[in-house]
Amino acid sequence: MKRILSGITPSGDGTLHIGNYLGAVKQFIDMARTNECFLFVADYHALTTIQNKGQLQKNVEALILNELSLLKGFLTPEEFNRLVFYRQSDLEGLHPELQTILNNVTPLGLLKRAHAYKDKLAKETVEDDINVGLFSYPILMAADILLYKPDLVPVGKDQKQHVEIARDVAERFNRVFNKQLFKLPEPFIPESVATVLGTDGKRKMSKSLGNIISIFESEEVIKKQVMGTYTDPTRAHATDLGHIEGNMVFTYLDFFGEKEKVNQMKKAYGEGQIGDIEVKQYLYESLLHYFTPARKQYDELKNNPELVKEILSQGKEKAMMIAGTTMKEVRETIGLVNAYSSQDKKKSTITIDDFGSVDIRVGKVETAEHIEKSEKLIRLHVDFGAFGKRIIFTGVRQFGYTGEYFIGKQFFFVVNLQYRKMMGEESQGMIMAVDSMDGKPLFISGETLPLGSRIR
């Protein structure tokens, strides 16, 4: 299993079409089935071109929804849970922090040779019209990559050079600080990525050219896009012999139709036995059929923002474990940590001994009372058998829990926390819970286990 990392810039409007799917998303999904994959929304990167609050919000929201729907729609739940999907800016400034450090081992010349900058220069002609964000974009991208030490970075052809710059920067850092800290990343350009032509049959499918077939639009919109697709201009009547080559309906059907049926249709079309409407109708049906799981996910996620937030929050936590560890290593390596540094309180990893120092025990709730002055708190009287009794507060009434729910049941409690004052009273521990998909805490049952027994 390899570690794969890629980012997507929300510079377009965030909605995806079948060109994006076939050209990029599908390859990533295939890799995610058998590898450890990190995929993030590069929202800091979008700032090089988008400097408008509403637009940035809208693009990022749409991109998150579109990507997640495809990933959830086509991956099994197990594959999806292995994938780490997160938003770059959620990582508490970690990516820009590494960028700031890498700035200092990056020669100016390296950036001046970067395509993104050179292309812009060619278009805008004066350097003064180009912002520094765009200029240093490859260093932010290097930080995005190096923090996670991936084996492969799948990107489109246009991004290959940026991954090579990241490699170069990593090499320089390792040399300057005399430590093999960063893994040198490899760009990976999936073979099968060919540019998908648009419904005009002439140019690359692209939102700005209006020649797309959407994935998540209404059925009416998709039908219209399919019906407007370029077929065979030499054909005036359905009985004329049709051409398959360059006929976009068949190009798309090769991806989305059923092989046998498509072959039959190609034959019949070539012999003048079926018309455009028939093949287009079949393309429309095939597309809806193919994307049904993703479109279902789209409706579900769109109606459930809490679920999307939960996925992003879990992604952030998982990403933080890896990126936080690398960042700590970087700070130590370059000398930011010294005799006066305070202990890093937010450790991203802990030792087995650290974990062993947490005392978690099974307790039975005897009685429970609501704290009237509070909207959340419940006071639990917990019996730990030979280990004694404790009063432990939990703030969960806002999730619909009442004291009744807890009484007579057994749960797990952390019992060696410093006591904490809650509404003037001491809480002598904490009940353990996990988050459900919608963020509501679910309590871990300790039924049938001996009271006071300890997790080990």
Shortest CB 68 distance to ligand ADP, Å = 16
Find the part of the chain contacting ligand TRP (CB under 6 A) among 6-14, 269-277, 330-338, 401-409. Answer: 6-14
The helix/strand/coil state of 367 is: strand
What H or E segment, with its residue span, contains residue 59?
helix 53-74
Which residue lies nearer to ligand ADP by CB, 116 or 170? 116
Residue 195 interaction partner, one of ligand TRP, ligand ADP, none, beta carbon < 5-8 Å per kind: ligand ADP
The helix/strand/coil state of 433 is: strand
- Structural tokens at position 227: 């019906």
User: Does 106 participate in binding ligand TRP (rule CB under 6 A)?
Assistant: no
Binding ligand TRP (rule: CB under 6 A), the pick from 27, 59, 159, 394 is 159
Find the part of the chain contacting ligand TRP (CB under 6 A) among 152-160, 250-258, 355-363, 438-446. Answer: 152-160
Binding ligand TRP (rule: CB under 6 A), the pick from 56, 141, 212, 279 is 141
Contact footprint for ligand ADP (CB under 6 A): 12, 19-20, 22-24, 156, 195-196, 204-206
Find the part of the chain contacting ligand TRP (CB under 6 A) among 2-10, 128-136, 218-226, 428-436. Answer: 2-10
Which residue lies nearer to ligand TRP by CB, 148 or 269? 148
Q: Could you say which residues in the range 213-242 bind ligand TRP, by CB under 6 A? A: none
Q: How many CB atoms lie within 10 A of CB 93?
A: 12
Q: Which residue is nearest to ligand TRP (CB)?
A: 7
User: Does 37 participate in binding ligand TRP (rule CB under 6 A)?
Assistant: no
Q: Is residue 74 a contact partner of residue 294, using CB atoms and an 8 Å limit? A: yes
- Structural tokens at position 303: 């109606």
Binding ligand TRP (rule: CB under 6 A), the pick from 29, 84, 105, 155 is 155
Residue 43 interaction partner, one of ligand TRP, ligand ADP, none, beta carbon < 5-8 Å per kind: none
Structure-token match 């079948």, residue found: 18
Strand 186-188 vs strand 152-154: parallel, antiparallel, or unpaired?
Answer: parallel
Query: How far apart, in whole angstroms, are the C-alpha atoms of residue 241 and residue 269?
Result: 7
Which residue lies nearer to ligand TRP by CB, 141 or 365? 141
Binding ligand TRP (rule: CB under 6 A), the pick from 36, 43, 67, 144 is 144
Could you give the angle at the alpha carbon of 17 between the alpha carbons of 11 and 21, nearest 5°? Answer: 95
Q: Count of residues for the chain?
A: 456
Q: What is the 3-state secondary structure (H, E, C) of 123-139?
A: HHCCHHHCCHHHHCHHH
Beta bridge partners of 422: 425
Residue 289 interaction partner, one of ligand TRP, ligand ADP, none, beta carbon < 5-8 Å per kind: none
Longest dimension (CA), the chain: 90
User: Does 45 participate in binding ligand TRP (rule CB under 6 A)?
Assistant: yes
Q: How many CB atoms lie within 10 A of CB 257?
A: 23
Residue 24 interaction partner, one of ligand TRP, ligand ADP, none, beta carbon < 5-8 Å per kind: ligand ADP
Please give the distance of CA 345 from its chain centroid, rounded to a whole number.
27
Q: Could you say which residues in the range 294-313 bind ligand TRP, by CB under 6 A? A: none
Q: Is residue 212 a contact partner of residue 199, using CB atoms and an 8 Å limit? A: yes
Residue 225 interaction partner, one of ligand TRP, ligand ADP, none, beta carbon < 5-8 Å per kind: none
Query: How far apart, in whole angstroms, are the C-alpha atoms of residue 72 and residue 299?
Result: 12
Shortest CB 44 distance to ligand TRP, Å = 9
- Structural tokens at position 137: 């974009």
User: Does 415 participate in binding ligand TRP (rule CB under 6 A)?
Assistant: no
Residue 253 interaction partner, one of ligand ADP, ligand TRP, none, beta carbon < 5-8 Å per kind: none
Shortest CB 210 distance to ligand ADP, Å = 13
- Structural tokens at position 236: 């005036």
User: Does 6 participate in binding ligand TRP (rule CB under 6 A)?
Assistant: yes
- Nearest partner of 13 among 61, 51, 70, judged by Cα: 61
Q: Is residue 328 a contact partner of residue 344, using CB atoms and an 8 Å limit? A: yes
User: Does 48 participate in binding ligand TRP (rule CB under 6 A)?
Assistant: no
Q: Is residue 198 a contact partner of residue 185, using CB atoms and an 8 Å limit? A: no
Shortest CB 196 distance to ligand ADP, Å = 4
Shortest CB 156 distance to ligand TRP, Å = 6
User: Does 67 participate in binding ligand TRP (rule CB under 6 A)?
Assistant: no
Query: How far apart, in whole angstroms, are the C-alpha atoms of residue 244 and residue 249?
Result: 9
Binding ligand TRP (rule: CB under 6 A), the pick from 4, 7, 48, 231 is 7
User: Does 9 participate in binding ligand TRP (rule CB under 6 A)?
Assistant: yes
Q: Is residue 291 a contact partner of residue 215, using CB atoms and an 8 Å limit? A: yes
Shortest CB 77 distance to ligand ADP, Å = 26
What H or E segment, with its residue span, contains residue 84?
strand 84-87
Residue 147 interaction partner, one of ligand ADP, ligand TRP, none, beta carbon < 5-8 Å per kind: none
Output the CA torsion sign for 405, 408, 411, 413.
positive
Positions that interact with ligand TRP (CB under 6 A): 5-9, 42, 45, 141, 144-145, 153, 155, 159, 162
